[in-house]
Amino acid sequence: MLAGLHGCASINTDRAAMRPPSQAISRDTPSQLQMLAHKPDPATPAESSFVLLDSGLDALAARLWLAQKAEKTLDVQYYIFHGDKTGALVAQALMEAAERGVRVRILLDDIYTHRHEADIMALYSHPNIEVRLFNPFHFRGGNPLLQLGQYLRDERVNRRMHNKLFAADNQFAITGGRNVGDEYFVAHDDFSFVDLDVLASGPVVGELSRSFDAYWASEAVIPARALPGYKLARHRLPALKVALQNKKDELEQTDYGRELQSVRFEQRLLSGELPAYLATARVVADPPEKVEGNTPASQLLVGQLSGLGTDTRQEVIVVSPYFVPGKMGVGWMGYMRARGIRVRVLTNSLAASDVPVVHAGYAKYRKALLELGVELYELKPLPNASPRKTRIIGSGSSRSSLHTKSLVFDREKVFIGSFNFDPRSAWLNTELGLVIESREIAGKVAEMAERAMGPDFSHQLSLKNSGDKTAIVWRSRTDRREFVTDTEPNTSWWKRRWVDFLTLLPIESHL
């Protein structure tokens, strides 16, 4: 992997090759979190404990709680880590942990790191913090033309690390759909993602840590000290500490900050107010070598997920913000329908989607899916939702877009993770998630999805015959009255024509 960096003055290739080995600590290492973590019963040694985090406030509070409680290690792996107010709050919590002597390992995909490269290098200069970047771009600075040129010339950079993980002391870990940023934690004034994470403790955390270690040691990563300008940026650490503390102080004086402080996460967790469920689970993850483009399908996460439907008897619920089934996905759902299995899909409407080009990839499969008897639901943008108080699969804001990724099989087992039902997640990006075998958890996730599928929150699609043509009809409810239309709801003529044009482009494999 690093051989491709030679000849590029932007990255110090000698430093890029310097990746000191490190691993997750033993789960037997004493700590506060070890005392609080689930201890398997000898009769059920494989069971772990799981808490669903469907609220954006709870999801942020859980991460901050782990950072505050950690005594030994924090392992953080994300596709996106914004430098906004909640991103700064999480970074400040990681900094505080490092100041206490906690070893902090931060692994970020390199897709957006140019936005705060100097801060990343300053963080790396802390003796207890190490930052590595996955699948780096050769040319730095975020110039869109240079990045486009790299995309066109180097297929490698089109493959990104989409995993999301926050692990503390190898005792607790959070994984799911959320990155780090205001829109994921309902802190954005105008837009929020409806999302879902799970807080795990018990044996499955060891599996998640092993996945992190595999990526951390991968040849696809470089240390932040290999970036140009590191020698200068490392002197910014004192200023960065002050800036992060100031941002934390400012946030605490806002309505959002006060609401976050009122979450009482630890108290609710230990009292049972936040319900924890015991279940067996397994980690499903792509290997980091997937970015090289030659990993057998059987070793990919999509291959592991495809086998989950073989013993399904009654229903499958798919929740995916970016849903591009392709011919293989349509075939899989057709196989389910041929066996009499009910298949329901919840995805974003065009008006709610933050990536219209992906919607174009989905739109051309709608009729085929409906003809198979697949039930399609498209989430509305929910423009009138009250900030942080609307609970569907997560928390709403002034405008919400679905970001949850889950699959429920017979309400007996459920996948929760980073995987979208699209070609990019299947074949290009690396992904991570949990398959949990629990009627309670699967039932809860199914109930959340069904509520979101309701006519107040989503449009249900159906087919209408009009002469020799078949048209799609959207049905929902607005202000207690039925709403029916045969055009994409709440969209302009120009947006619909733009999506029509995008459907003609040969780009599905990259969606």
Query: What CATH number does residue 102 fall under?
Result: 3.30.870.10
| CA distance linking residue 192 with residue 20, whole number of Å | 38
pLDDT of residue 387: 43
In this structure, are 236 and 314 located in the same domain?
no
Widest distance between CA atoms in the chain: 72
Last residue of a domain, one of 215, 238, 261: 261
Q: Are residues 158 and 58 located together in one domain of the fold?
A: yes
345 and 243 fall within a common domain: no
Same domain, 340 and 252: no
Residues 181 and 253 in one domain: yes
The radius of gyration of the chain's CA atoms, rounded to the nearest angstrom, is 23
Q: Which domain holds residue 458?
A: 296-510
Residues 321 and 468 in one domain: yes
Q: Is residue 275 part of a domain?
A: no
At residue 187, the pLDDT reads: 94
Per the CB < 8 A criterion, the answer to whether 99 and 74 are in contact is no
- Spatial neighbors of 374 by CB under 8 A, at least 6 apart, are 333, 337, 343, 344, 345
The verdict on 401 and 446 lying in the same domain is: yes
pTM above 0.85, yes or no: yes
Residue 30: inside a domain, yes or no? no
pLDDT of residue 408: 98
Asked if residue 232 is part of any domain, the answer here is yes
Same domain, 219 and 175: yes
pLDDT of residue 150: 74
- The catalytic residue positions are 162, 164, 169, 403, 405, 410
Q: With contact defined as beta carbons under 8 Å apart, do 294 and 155 qualify?
A: no
Q: Are residues 257 and 120 in the same domain?
A: yes
Cβ atoms of 344 and 318 within 8 Å: the answer is yes
Please indicate, yes or no, if residue 43 is contained in any of the structural domains.
no
Per-residue pLDDT, 16: 65
In a domain, 42, yes or no: no
Task: Return averaged pLDDT per consecutive 10 residues of the chain, 511 residues in all.
Answer: 43 73 95 94 94 97 98 98 97 98 98 89 95 87 68 82 99 98 92 95 98 96 88 87 96 95 96 97 97 91 89 96 95 96 97 90 96 97 53 55 96 98 96 98 97 96 89 92 93 89 83 73
Examine the fold and report which residue of 201, 235, 261 is the final residue of a domain before the chain moves on: 261
Residues 249 and 324 in one domain: no
Q: Is residue 463 part of a domain?
A: yes
22 in a structural domain: no
Domain count, the chain: 2
Sign of CA dihedral 220, 25, 304, 426: negative
105 and 227: one domain?
yes
Residues 256 and 341 in one domain: no
312 assigned to some structural domain: yes
